[in-house]
Amino acid sequence: MRAVSYPAYGVLPTLGDIPDPVCPDDGVVIAVGASGVCRSDWHAWQGHDPVALPHVPGHELAGAVAEVGAGVTRWRAGDRVTVPFVCGCGVCEYCLAGQAQVCPDQTQPGFTGPGSFADRVVIHAADVNLVALPPSVDFVTAASLGCRFATAYRALAARGRLRGGDWLAVHGCGGVGLSAVQIGVALGARVVAVDVSGAALVRARELGAQAVVDGSGMDPDEVGRAVHGLTGGGAHVSLDAAGSAPTSIGSVRSLRRRGRHVQVGLLFGAAATPPIPMNVVLAHELEIHGSHGMAAHEYPPMLDLITAGRLQPERLVGRVVDLAQAGQALADLGAPAATVGMTVVDLSRG
């Protein structure tokens, strides 16, 4: 089969031929229709998140079931599906409680095994991890759901408990941040978008943000004060969608009393331990949440909003490329402002 892989960290991924994967008993092989290009893939490629080399990236995928393991009961060849980027084992206490997104034995296509920059990809514990796609959702649109869109949805609806009329601050308007802007507006919130890219802020406004803050040259305290000024006392919910020490602290500084910070952007190296002002967390009774994707069983309410037209993930796709261009598209994420919105690889092209 065709696959895009890299032999070492930082070496441009290239298209080649590798053997077809073998279907595990509890899993399926999916014929990939489309695959998102996400900054988490870029982090793995940079060596921030170690993977076995050579490596096939890609964890945001949609396609059709091609092979079904003997132990799988819920799925058949031909089913149109997507998957969360975190796949649970299906048998541990967390999976049994419906919290596969924190499974200690989780698998992640494109991280713990070969990913979806390929004609075929293996998904383990398929009965727990596959999500049936409504007929109206095409593969390119669905490829954005497994990581960034679903992560943003659950971060706001479940972790942030965002309600109509709330102020939402979104720090970082890349894939997950712009998803959060659109979802926040659909849930009835008033959204303030923060970024250092003028083009990303224009896109945030197009997606319904009421106000924007250009954080260029601002420290986290200044960003917090700007959000307080625009929201009459701070955001009820604030998301760090960028994943850096300044944006994480800026998000906490943006909160209204009793507000909720949700950390969604991945943090690596020195940025992994930002100095959060715990004195303010205490005095203002702030809540600090992490959010790590969304388990497959939680997808239906989000898919209902998509089929009803209230959420439009296809509007977040900025660029569609073919498989031969996927390696360069991944490398391009080193300059996040280069493309506004998500890049998706359409495997039906080329």
Q: How far is the CB of 49 from Zn ion (least distance, A)?
A: 11
Q: Six-digit token pair at 222?
A: 């200044």
Task: In whole angstroms, give the CA distance from residue 265 to residue 258.
Answer: 22
> Which CB sits closer to Zn ion, 89 or 145?
89
CB-based burial, 67-84: b 16+ in 10 Å, e otherwise? bbbeebeebeeebbbbbb
89 touches Zn ion (CB under 5 A): yes
Burial level of 332, CB count in 10 A (0-12/13-18/19+)? middle
Q: How far is the CB of 220 from Zn ion (least distance, A)?
A: 25
The enclosing H or E element of 129 equals helix 126-129
40 touches Zn ion (CB under 5 A): yes
> Which CB sits closer to Zn ion, 103 or 237?
103
* Region from 98-106, 160-168, 241-249, 250-258 binding Zn ion, contact rule CB under 5 A: 98-106
The angle subtended at Cα 47 by Cα 153 and Cα 334, nearest 5°, is 65
**Residue 38 to residues 71, 121, 197, 329, 334: CA-CA distances in angstroms?**
31, 17, 18, 10, 11
Q: How far is the CB of 164 from Zn ion (least distance, A)?
A: 28
Q: How far is the CB of 38 from Zn ion (least distance, A)?
A: 3
Q: Which of 3, 86, 142, 147 touches Zn ion (CB under 5 A)? A: 147
* Region from 16-24, 38-46, 185-193, 244-252 binding Zn ion, contact rule CB under 5 A: 38-46
* Region from 97-105, 197-205, 208-216, 254-262 binding Zn ion, contact rule CB under 5 A: 97-105
* Region from 33-41, 116-124, 304-312, 329-337 binding Zn ion, contact rule CB under 5 A: 33-41
* Region from 127-135, 145-153, 205-213, 303-311 binding Zn ion, contact rule CB under 5 A: 145-153
How much of the chain is in helix, strand and coil states, percent to nearest 5?
35, 25, 40
Q: How far is the CB of 96 from Zn ion (least distance, A)?
A: 8
> Which CB sits closer to Zn ion, 95 or 223?
95
Residues in the chain: 350
* Region from 69-77, 99-107, 130-138, 230-238 binding Zn ion, contact rule CB under 5 A: 99-107
Q: Which of 34, 62, 87, 95 touches Zn ion (CB under 5 A)? A: 95
Neighbours of 275 (CB within 10 A): 9
Task: Kindly state the DSSP code that residue 348 receives in the 8-state scheme.
Answer: T
Q: Which of 33, 88, 115, 160 touches Zn ion (CB under 5 A)? A: 88
**Residue 207 to residues 119, 203, 210, 234: CA-CA distances in angstroms?**
33, 6, 9, 21
Q: How far is the CB of 202 from Zn ion (least distance, A)?
A: 23
Q: Which of 3, 32, 34, 38 touches Zn ion (CB under 5 A)? A: 38
Task: In whole angstroms, give the CA distance from residue 168 to residue 216.
Answer: 20
- String of DSSP letters for 247-293: HHHHHHHTEEEEEEEEE-S---GGGGS----HHHHHHTT-EEEE---
84 touches Zn ion (CB under 5 A): no
202 touches Zn ion (CB under 5 A): no
Contact positions vs Zn ion (CB under 5 A) = 38, 40, 88-89, 92, 95, 103, 147
